């Protein structure tokens, strides 16, 4: 089966880039812009100096993955890296499931992996891009300094 980046990514409006990282600014800073969003709700950002970063939403980590856009484009031809970043099998399972994405949606975690969730189709549901990054950024900010194994309770309020 041939796959391409369109199978692994979702479209988003570039004009909302700053809103998408707003709740992640504690980790990513304010000098980056979103260049790509994966179907499973991770994002790739370009910094002021051209470096490319991967925001792994499941683990709440930011990793530099390329020195510039040309380096990043080259790495997108490396199957092992693409699989690590986009979880190809899971993404294709989600794309083939009965739960389809609407415009400006990603498959978002029901339970974040850092909180015990897994990387299975059943742990994902469609959610608007802005809501996904708002909720996950907010949760990760709240739990970032907690020791591993700490029990947390999440209350959703209006």
Look-up: residue for tokens 């031809």?
77
* Mean pLDDT for the stretch of residues 46-63: 95
The reported pLDDT for the residue numbered 154 is 62
Domain chopping of the chain, boundaries: 5-143
Nearest to 39, CA basis, from 115, 113, 90: 90
pLDDT band at 106 (very low <50, low <70, confident <90, very high): very high
Instruction: Report the distance separating Cα 122 and Cα 33, nearest Å.
Output: 31
Check whether 150 has a pLDDT greater than 90. Answer: no
Tokens of 55: 């925001």
Q: Which pTM value belongs to this model?
A: 0.89
DSSP 126-157: EEEHHHHHHHHHHHHHHHTTSPTT--------
With a CB cutoff of 8 Å and minimum separation 6, the contacts of 53 are 28, 32, 44, 45, 46, 47, 62, 63, 64, 65
What percentage of the chain reaches a pLDDT higher than 70?
91
Q: What are phi and psi of 123, to 5 degrees?
A: -95, 15
The reported pLDDT for the residue numbered 40 is 96
Tokens of 131: 């809501």
């Amino acid at each position: 089966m041939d796959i391409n980046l369109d199978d692994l990514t979702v479209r988003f409006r570039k004009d909302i880039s700053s809103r998408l990282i707003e709740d992640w600014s504690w980790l990513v800073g304010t000098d980056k812009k979103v260049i790509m969003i994966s179907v499973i709700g991770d994002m790739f950002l370009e910094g002021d100096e051209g470096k490319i970063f991967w925001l792994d939403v499941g683990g709440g980590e930011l990793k530099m993955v390329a020195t510039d856009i040309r380096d990043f484009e080259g790495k997108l031809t490396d199957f092992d890296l693409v699989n690590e970043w986009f979880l190809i099998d899971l993404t294709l399972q989600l794309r083939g499931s009965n739960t389809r994405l609407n415009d400006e949606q990603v498959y978002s975690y029901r339970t974040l992996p850092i909180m015990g969730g897994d990387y299975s189709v059943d742990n994902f549901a469609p959610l608007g891009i802005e809501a996904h990054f708002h909720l996950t950024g907010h949760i990760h900010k709240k739990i970032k300094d907690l020791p591993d194994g700490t029990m947390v309770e999440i209350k959703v309020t209006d």
